[in-house]
Amino acid sequence: MENKVSLEDIVSLCKRRGFIFQSSDIYGGLQGIYDYGPLGVELKNNLKAAWWKTMVYERDDIEGLDTSIITHRLTLKHSGHEETFSDPMVDCRDCKHRMRADHIVDGKCDNCGSKNLTEPRPFNLMLRTNLGPIDDGTSYGYLRPETAQGIFTNFKNVIDSTSRKLPFGIAQIGKAFRNEVTPRNFIFRVREFEQMELEFFVEPGTDEQWHEKWVQTRLEWWKKQGLTSQNLKLQPQKKDELAHYSKATTDILYRFPHGFEELEGVANRTDFDLGSHSKSQEGLKLFAKVKPNPDSTAFLVIQDLEKKTAVVPFVIEPSAGLDRGVLAILTEAYTVEKLENGERIVLKLEKHLAPIKVAVVPLAKNNEKIVGKAKEIKHTLQKLGLGRMKYEDVGNVGKAYRRHDEIGTPLCITVDFDTFEGDKETVTVRYRDSMKQDRIAVADLEQFVKNYFV
């Protein structure tokens, strides 16, 4: 089953309705960099909140962290990124187009079709930044290419402040930067993006079982965000595809408009990172006094008081691209339905992800009584803390319904002339997916909305 939505459909919706814009658009834009609009920031924040709730709040074995974006150069030296974090780059001698060597098809330039290409050469993906007032080439750091290293370098701080025992994890959501040679497919491959990463520390020897467990856990989580089984699949990486730190990695692939590609990777990083930072000469000098075991050169360890030993844990890393998650969710939710009087575009988002939870619509925008009641209802519902509620005054209820179908609003509440008829004030509640309408007493609205979203 192929997705019927095209990438052009998604891009058009995102700009038209305020989900995602090209960054610096008035100056021609920056390739591979995007801004999230009024609805996009809500969708993105809702997805982050769902991840954090599942990872940190609903578990007893995970702590949260938020580390700096600018990273010490020695961190990325000893993590192996300075030496290995690069893509093979090729230039077309005829049109001067630059592309990744592993993206070339039939030895031809993807811009002009020429076969007059240069030999592949490594292109470092990390963005370097000067630190301090003088740019002398010696005082610099990097914009982090992944959020993981901040977790590893803070491992001992977290252990000392929380007294955690294995197995346990450290979770982080944050920006990362990669100077991609060829950004492509909208927000799928970009130069500035957000990651949702967990480093889960386990006893060596239990890592393979934990790896498989996390693969299945993460797959099921994406299904709860609305992605269907037929558009998801697992793909273990081949040995020659593995990152320099990985013993094994399984990718969770999603069927994007441009085909199946990685949505999230679950890697078994073994003790590569903690071991590398522990054994660095700079680290040994700084932490010589706190080595837990005279026979060990590692200081990023966790002690087992019962066994009276210290171990460098193995690490299982589920790492998801937040922007890719947004694109997958938009792709899955985008639906075109045929109606008797035409068609409608509807975003069938899961309720907890919808940018706007409820739209309150006055039937007559010039009627003070109707408008006043609609605004009152909106402010009352906003205080429930369920997310953004919107007062929608477009002067046409039909247009309001179509607009909120298209942006994924689950409920529309209409205040009309009948609201004030009878003993109780009532409103019309319209459901996005079915377009069914119910009449509900205003006094019952708060409880109704709570029950609907909780």
Torsion angles phi and psi, residue 323, rounded to 5 = -65, -40
Q: Which of 265, 222, 260 is nearest to 241 (CA)?
A: 265
Long-range contacts formed by 304-307: CB under 8 A, 24+ apart:
304/165, 304/166
Same domain, 142 and 233: yes
SS3 at position 440 = strand
Same domain, 256 and 361: no
Q: What is the mean pLDDT of residues 2-21?
A: 90
DSSP annotation string for 359-385: EEEES-TT-HHHHHHHHHHHHHHHTT-
Least confident of 17-21, 101-105, 297-301, 315-319: 297-301
pLDDT higher than 90, residue 243: no
- Classify burial at 125, counting beta carbons within 10 Å of its beta carbon; exposed 0-12, middle 13-18, buried 19 or more: middle
Query: Please, which pLDDT band fits residue 297 given cuts at 50, 70 and 90?
Result: very low
Q: Is 341 among the domain residues?
A: no
Same domain, 191 and 254: yes
pLDDT higher than 50, residue 289: no
Same domain, 308 and 384: no
Highest mean pLDDT among 94-103, 137-146, 325-334: 325-334
Same domain, 119 and 58: no
Same domain, 268 and 379: no
Same domain, 91 and 72: no
The residues pairing with 336 across neighbouring beta strands, listed in sequence order, are: 345
What's the CATH code of the domain at 262? 3.30.930.10
Q: Is 399 among the domain residues?
A: yes
**Alpha helix stretches (DSSP H) within 85-206:** 148-153, 155-162
Query: Please, which pLDDT band fits residue 298 given cuts at 50, 70 and 90?
Result: low
Q: Is 416 among the domain residues?
A: yes
Contact present, 176 and 324 (Cβ < 8 Å): no
The two structure tokens encoding residue 201: 């520390």
Same domain, 73 and 97: no
Q: What is the mean pLDDT of residues 61-83?
A: 88
Q: Is 345 among the domain residues?
A: no
The total of structural domains in the chain comes to: 3
Contact present, 283 and 159 (Cβ < 8 Å): no
Same domain, 296 and 176: yes
Cα 294-309-282 angle, rounded to 5 deg: 45
Same domain, 224 and 93: no
> Which tens digits make up the pLDDT trace of 193-202?
999 999 999 9
Same domain, 242 and 387: no
Contact present, 65 and 172 (Cβ < 8 Å): yes
Q: Is 343 among the domain residues?
A: no
Contact present, 346 and 402 (Cβ < 8 Å): no
Structural domain for 172, as ranges:
7-78+128-330
